[in-house]
Amino acid sequence: MKREECQRAFSLVELLVVIGIIAVLIGFLLPALQRARMAAYTTQCAAQLRSVGQALAVYVNNNRGLFPGWSGWHVAGADGTGEDAPGPGWTEVLGAELSPLRSHVWNCPTFPEQFRINYFLAARYTFLCGRFNLKYGEIRLGPQFVLSGDCTQQLLYPPNFGTAPYTTDDCDKDDATQEGVVFANQPGGINMHKGGNNVLFGDWHVELVPRFELGRLTYNPKRIEAWKDVTAN
């Protein structure tokens, strides 16, 4: 037998069959890889929220049981002019290692990258009480009280992701006048992760919550109340 007959090359049909098989395998693998990547993003976001919770706990311990104060629209590192309200945002007072200018801990990996501050601070109750600082001792429902979490409120972001009348990203997001985490089962809400939104609770634990359920979540630190129904005292 001639040597060239023993080393016969693939025919065009055989090559197309191999390419087709590879394409089918890639089609099976890509969704699995995408799911794995999204699961990793969810885990990373939860870890970041735990870091935020740890920083808040340290702040509370060092400031007579008070959480950082919430206020207006703040631009990280700005000087109080333009869209930046005077004074630091609550994310800016938690320590140099968590500076929103340098740390990626505030950027949930599923959010658009140009909006790096994706977590908010509970403020609804104190807003109605006429105060800017929540007291840790006021939290009587720690496992249910929404202290922070994925900020999915479009009114707290500038366009194109949001609808706020600003051009900058607010580093002082809070839920004083707008509900901070709005779930897919609520009007105008979205779930940033496949299983829901990550929430930091008043007892410092982080949980992936699939939907809003009154009782599982409360926005009043002392009693079970939905955000729109929170009452002072």
Kindly state the tokens that stand for 66: 């008070």
What is the tens place of the pLDDT at every residue in 36-76? Answer: 788 899 999 999 999 999 999 999 999 999 999 999 999 99
Please tell me the predicted confidence (pLDDT) of residue 221. Answer: 98
* 162 has a pLDDT exceeding 60: yes
Which of 67, 63, 99 has its CA nearest to residue 171?
99
Q: Is the pTM of this model over 0.95?
A: no
Kindly state the tokens that stand for 6: 């023993």
How many angstroms separate the CA atoms of 212 and 56, rounded? 24
Q: Within 13 Å and on the Cβ side, how many CA atoms surround 137?
A: 4
Q: Please give the residue that has the higher pLDDT: either 142 or 1.
A: 142
Type of residue at 147: L
Vertex 210 angle, CA 206 and 180, to 5°? 65
Reported confidence tier of residue 1, pLDDT bands at 50, 70, 90: very low
Min mean pLDDT across 2-16, 30-44, 56-70, 145-159 is at 2-16
